[in-house]
Amino acid sequence: MKGEKRNLVLIGFMGSGKTTVGRKLSYRLRMPMEDTDRLIEQREKKSIRQMFDEEGERFFRACETKLLRELTQRAAGPRIYSVGGGTPAEPANRPLLKELGTVIWLRVRPDTVYRRLRGDTVRPLLQCPDPLERIRSLMEERGQAYRACADVTVDADDMSAAQITEQILRILDAKNKEAPFGGGEAPF
C-alpha cells in the first residue's frame, strides 16, 4: 500500500451519519463509495430486517465477516466504505477493517441516535419496547471496539454532515502532510 491512496472506512453506531458523510466524501475525493449493508442485501436478495427475522443475527454477522474478507482481498481502486454499526463489535472483523483502510469513527451520543432514528422500522435491533435503553447498552458494549479500530475519531453529534465531511478532510490532509506521499506511510 506504500505510496498508494488508501481506502477510507467509516464506522460508528447506527444513525451516526456514515452513509451521508460517506457520500459527501465520495463526491469531494472522487472516490466511489460502497455500503456493506447494501452489498449484503443485494447478495442475499433480501433486506437486513428479513435476514434477521428469517436466518437470525448470526447469519447476518457471518455475511459481514465474509464480505469484509473479500473486500480486503480485492484489487479495486480506492473506495470509501461505510459499514454496519455492529461490524467492529465482532472481534474477527477488527483486523479486517484496519487492513481495509484508514478507519474513521463517527462518534455519537445515545440521545443523538435516539433523536435521529425514532420511529425507524428497518433496523432490527431497534424494534423493541425501549429503543433508547437498547441504544445505550449496545453503545456501552461497543465503545471499546470502535476505539480499538479507529485511526481517526470525529464527534458527530452537533455538526451537519457537510461540517463533519470538512473536518475529516482537514484531518486526512494533516495526516498526509505528517507522512507525505512516498514518505513511508500511505496517504490517508
Among positions 17, 22, 78, 85, the unique one binding ligand S3P when judged by CB under 6 A: 85
Could you say whether residue 41 binds ligand S3P (CB under 6 A)?
A: no
Selected range binding ligand S3P among 105-113, 117-125, 153-161, 168-176, rule: CB under 6 A: 117-125
How does DSSP classify residue 9? Answer: E
Residue 126 or 186 with smaller CB distance to ligand S3P: 126
Could you say whether residue 14 binds ligand S3P (CB under 6 A)?
A: yes
Selected range binding ligand S3P among 21-29, 120-128, 149-157, 173-181, rule: CB under 6 A: 120-128
- Owner of C-alpha cell 465531511: 165
CB of 51 to ligand S3P, least distance (A): 9
Q: Is 150 helix (H, G, I), strand (E, B) or coil?
A: coil
- What part of residues 128-187 is at the interface with ligand S3P (CB under 6 A)? none
Residue 40 or 186 with smaller CB distance to ligand S3P: 40
Q: Which helix (H) or strand (E) holds 155?
A: strand 152-155
Count CA atoms closer than 13 A to 188's CA, side-chain side.
23
Determine the residue type at 28. R
CA-to-CA distance for 122 and 33, rounded, in angstroms?
21
CA-to-CA distance for 112 and 121, rounded, in angstroms?
17
> Which residues are at the interface with ligand S3P (CB under 6 A)?
14, 18, 37, 48, 84-86, 123-125
